[in-house]
């Protein structure tokens, strides 16, 4: 839980007038019972819309539960469990294992999102509905590009999503890796997440100035020749920002153990915003990316 207040307009009548306790904002590590149930309801509904339901059910059984296919469960009528029944079976089995397994629902969401049996419309529907569940339950996480990420601010999430849909696959891939490393709940790698966020900016700047060997600092100096005007103060600020990030990423400034989710999140959001800014500037200058 966090100490952040819930906006008054999002409280129910009984919560506003103190008839029942007001909800609290969940930290990115917390899952309330209400959120747990909502997410499984969403999973059950969206998975039931997949065309290859039987294949998806077997995929969950074999590669999420890591159980032999010969042990696939049947109902009391002797029929193999449907995908909806299997999701409910998963909820009940995780429920029996207690609170230590609560985050496994996030693992299941990411797992089904990534399977070949989910089409783009299934992925879009799952991500949209999961994010609505997060918002409804005041969770400090958001699903971005298939990863449940410790980012709850709408504007920050939009900057990241926009940057990852840019014209350069190399930049998109580096941002995707930064997001994946940040979102890893078992072994988050904040140092390498920061490194990939900054590398994404560097890759974009190399394309803009047409010099694949340039560093970010070199590329920023050459930017004026490409008809992209960047205010000297902004350019200087990002050079210093890059120097700091480079020290952290390459040399472990402050020690890698001291890096936290806030550091990696800040770098990913800031680098995404700068990438979006440069893409727009390049387009206006007639530079083909």
| Domain-embedded: residue 146 | no
pLDDT band at 133 (very low <50, low <70, confident <90, very high): very high
Domain co-membership, 235 together with 167: yes
- Give residue for tokens 């050079």: 239
Q: In angstroms, rounded to a whole number, what is the distance separating the alpha carbons of residues 205 and 31?
A: 40
Supply the DSSP symbol for 235: H
Q: Could you tell me if 61 and 86 are in contact, meaning their C-beta atoms sit under 8 angstroms apart?
A: yes
Q: Which two structure tokens, joined as six digits, stand for 26?
A: 């969940």
Domain co-membership, 189 together with 114: no
Q: In angstroms, rounded to a whole number, what is the distance separating the alpha carbons of residues 73 and 80?
A: 6
pLDDT band at 110 (very low <50, low <70, confident <90, very high): very high
Domain co-membership, 191 together with 101: no
Does the pLDDT value for residue 6 go beyond 70? no
| Domain-embedded: residue 94 | yes
Domain co-membership, 50 together with 106: yes
Mean pLDDT (whole number) for 46-71: 94
| Domain-embedded: residue 169 | yes
Would you tell me how many other CB atoms lie within 10 Å of the CB of residue 75?
Answer: 11
* pLDDT score for 109: 96
pTM of the model: 0.81
* pLDDT score for 68: 96
Domain co-membership, 125 together with 242: no
Supply the DSSP symbol for 148: E
* pLDDT score for 52: 92
Domain co-membership, 183 together with 266: yes
Q: Which two structure tokens, joined as six digits, stand for 92?
A: 């009940």
Of 174-178, 195-199, 254-258, highest mean pLDDT:
174-178
- Give residue for tokens 């700068």: 274
Give every CB contact of residue 22 below 8 A, 6+ residues apart in sequence: 6, 11, 15
Mean pLDDT (whole number) for 237-261: 69
What average pLDDT does the structure give for the chain?
86
Q: Which two structure tokens, joined as six digits, stand for 263?
A: 């550091």
**Residue that terminates a domain, selected from 115, 140, 165:** 140
Mean pLDDT (whole number) for 235-243: 78
Structural domain of 135: 31-140
| Domain-embedded: residue 264 | yes
Q: Per the structure, how many domains does the chain have?
A: 2
pLDDT band at 121 (very low <50, low <70, confident <90, very high): very high
Domain co-membership, 161 together with 264: yes
Mean pLDDT (whole number) for 276-287: 91
Torsion of CA 78, 84, 86, 90, to 10 degrees: -150
Q: In angstroms, rounded to a whole number, what is the distance separating the alpha carbons of residues 105 and 181?
A: 19
Q: How many CA atoms lie within 13 A of 210 on its CB side?
A: 6
| Domain-embedded: residue 14 | no
Domain co-membership, 70 together with 105: yes
* pLDDT score for 97: 78
Beta partners for 147? 144
CATH number at residue 274: 1.20.120
Domain co-membership, 188 together with 248: yes
Does the pLDDT value for residue 17 go beyond 80? no
| Domain-embedded: residue 289 | no
Does the pLDDT value for residue 13 go beyond 80? no
Domain co-membership, 91 together with 38: yes
Burial class (CB in 10 A: 0-12, 13-18, 19+), 68: exposed
* pLDDT score for 237: 79
Domain co-membership, 162 together with 265: yes
| Domain-embedded: residue 1 | no
Q: Could you tell me if 91 and 40 are in contact, meaning their C-beta atoms sit under 8 angstroms apart?
A: yes
Q: How many CA atoms lie within 13 A of 229 on its CB side?
A: 1
Mean pLDDT (whole number) for 124-150: 94
| Domain-embedded: residue 71 | yes
Q: Could you tell me if 143 and 127 are in contact, meaning their C-beta atoms sit under 8 angstroms apart?
A: yes
**Residue that terminates a domain, selected from 106, 140, 174:** 140
């Amino acid at each position: 839980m966090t100490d952040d207040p819930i906006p008054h307009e999002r409280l129910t009548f009984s919560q506003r007038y103190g008839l029942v306790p007001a909800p609290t904002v969940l930290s990115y590590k917390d899952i309330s019972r209400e959120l747990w149930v909502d997410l499984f309801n969403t999973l059950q509904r969206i998975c039931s819309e997949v065309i290859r339901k039987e294949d998806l059910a077997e995929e969950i059984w074999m590669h999420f539960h890591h159980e032999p296919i010969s042990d696939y469960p049947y109902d009391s009528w002797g029929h193999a469990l449907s995908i909806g029944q299997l999701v409910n079976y998963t909820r009940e089995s995780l429920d029996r294992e207690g609170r230590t397994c609560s985050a496994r629902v996030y693992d299941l969401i990411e797992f089904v999102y990534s399977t070949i049996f989910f089409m783009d419309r299934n992925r879009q529907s799952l991500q949209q509905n999961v994010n609505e569940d997060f918002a409804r339950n005041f969770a400090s996480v958001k699903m971005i590009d298939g990863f449940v990420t410790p980012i709850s601010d709408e504007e920050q999430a939009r900057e990241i999503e926009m940057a990852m849909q840019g014209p350069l696959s190399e930049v998109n891939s580096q941002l995707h890796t930064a997001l994946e490393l940040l979102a890893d709940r078992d072994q988050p790698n904040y140092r390498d997440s920061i490194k990939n966020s900054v590398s994404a900016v560097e890759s974009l700047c190399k394309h803009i100035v047409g010099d694949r060997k340039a560093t970010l600092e070199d590329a920023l100096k050459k930017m004026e020749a490409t008809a992209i005007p960047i205010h000297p103060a902004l350019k200087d600020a990002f050079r210093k920002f890059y120097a700091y990030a480079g020290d952290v990423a390459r040399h472990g400034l402050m020690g890698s153990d001291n890096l936290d989710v806030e550091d990696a999140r800040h770098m990913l959001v800031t680098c995404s915003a700068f990438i979006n800014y440069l893409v727009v500037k390049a387009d206006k200058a007639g530079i083909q990316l």
